[in-house]
């Protein structure tokens, strides 16, 4: 029987539960580094936790089920997941990336990828013609975020898939902002899907995790080999915490989206707020494309204030909303991208994208929307 995504969030791959020791409903935490052999050449199916672990296996199979992936590996962080994918490429290989990209991704591409001889071009991937114009003989992959972090640009995944097929490229999609509950890029042709599992998947601001989902047998084998070789695996306890978070992914995402819509509409009416970036607003330039490839809008909002003073006053005066990095948890967080998440992006690029001293990013949680609005109102006054 094919279960809905809400059921799969709650129960995972349901037949696995029947295999839990003593009928445990929650996944047992196999907090062990190694596993005993029953004899020479015999294995229980697990030999060493760097390679595989029963707790992590269940998490990986759950993510594969949600994303529609052939396989998933769970990494220590989202950055570890991105670094693992970089190992697929060789000196001289070229990747075309969304110009509005998480600052940590830009940092690892520059500090690690370029030092290894990889080449990166950043373009507005919402413009398929511009992407195609930048494809060259050394181009090996398209790397996109949609919605992008933090200006919420939308890329047409189907258009990128068409280009990937035409030029024999890998299509890599960072799906952190919407999670598989709202967006499943593999259904649209992505070869690799990445997540910072720290965010919406785990959902409680209490653990770090990352995921690499693969769509083909060849990619599965390559990633699995690199995974055990590099050793950036997720621990059993963090695997448990992430699985526990995923159980409520559906209800959290729905509530957070509901709150975000109310807050975005309120922000648009404020004199001191000059622009609101939320993909659920019909006037967002990517609204129709996003609707065509997702089941929702998520809960990430960015906005621009009238002055730097207003932006700083909001950050210093919010009480309920927490001034902190990260996103996707049950608690609402507000971030100053130019100093926090995107400080490694060149100034001229940040300013061209609109990530200025007046630009703030809000991750909306599950609190009462009216309370969050009241907190923003008093911070603005």
Active site residue ranges? 50, 102, 174, 199
Contact 265, 280 (CB under 8 A): no
Spatial distance between the Cα atoms of 322 and 26, rounded to a whole number of angstroms: 31
Spatial distance between the Cα atoms of 240 and 256, rounded to a whole number of angstroms: 23
Q: Please, which contacts does 62-66 make with residues 24 or more away whose CB atoms are closer than 8 Å? A: 62/8, 62/12, 62/13, 62/243, 62/246, 63/180, 63/195, 63/197, 63/201, 63/211, 63/213, 63/246, 64/213, 65/8, 65/12, 65/13, 66/5, 66/8, 66/9, 66/180, 66/181, 66/184, 66/246
- Element at 71 (helix H, strand E): strand 71-75
Q: How many helices (H) and strands (E) does the chain have?
A: 14, 12
């Amino acid at each position: 029987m094919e279960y809905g995504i809400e059921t799969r969030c709650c129960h995972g791959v349901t037949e696995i539960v029947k295999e839990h020791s003593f009928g445990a409903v929650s996944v047992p935490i196999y907090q062990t580094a190694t596993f005993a052999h029953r004899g020479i050449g015999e294995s229980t199916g697990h030999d060493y936790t760097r390679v595989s672990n029963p707790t992590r296996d269940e998490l990986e199979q759950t993510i594969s089920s949600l994303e529609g992936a052939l396989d998933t590996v769970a990494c220590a962080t989202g950055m570890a997941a991105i670094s693992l994918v970089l190992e697929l490429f060789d000196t001289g290989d070229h990747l075309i990336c969304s110009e509005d990209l998480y600052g940590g991704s830009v940092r690892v591409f520059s500090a690690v990828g370029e030092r290894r001889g990889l080449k990166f071009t950043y373009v507005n991937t919402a413009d398929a013609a511009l992407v195609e114009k930048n494809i060259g003989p050394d181009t090996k992959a398209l790397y996109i975020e949609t919605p992008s972090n933090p200006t919420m640009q939308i890329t047409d995944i189907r258009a990128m898939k068409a280009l990937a097929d035409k030029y024999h490229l890998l299509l890599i999609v960072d799906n952190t902002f919407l999670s598989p509950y709202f967006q499943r890029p593999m259904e649209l042709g992505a070869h690799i899907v990445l997540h910072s599992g720290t965010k919406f998947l785990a959902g409680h601001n209490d653990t770090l995790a990352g995921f690499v989902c693969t769509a083909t047998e060849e990619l599965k084998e390559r990633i699995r080999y690199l995974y055990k070789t590099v050793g950036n695996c997720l621990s059993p306890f963090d695997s448990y915490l992430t699985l526990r978070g995923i159980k409520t992914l559906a209800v959290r995402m729905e509530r957070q989206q509901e709150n975000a819509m109310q807050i975005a509409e309120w922000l648009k009416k404020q004199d001191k707020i000059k622009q609101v970036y939320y993909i659920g607003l019909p006037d967002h330039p990517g609204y129709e494309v996003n609707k065509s490839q997702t089941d929702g809008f998520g809960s990430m909002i960015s906005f621009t204030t009238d002055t730097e003073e207003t932006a700083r006053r909001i950050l210093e005066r919010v009480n309920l909303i927490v001034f902190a990095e990260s996103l996707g948890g049950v608690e609402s967080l507000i971030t100053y991208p130019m100093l926090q998440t995107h400080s490694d992006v060149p100034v001229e690029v940040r300013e061209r994208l609109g990530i200025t001293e007046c630009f703030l990013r809000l991750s909306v949680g599950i609190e009462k929307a009216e309370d969050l609005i009241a907190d923003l109102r008093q911070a603005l006054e």
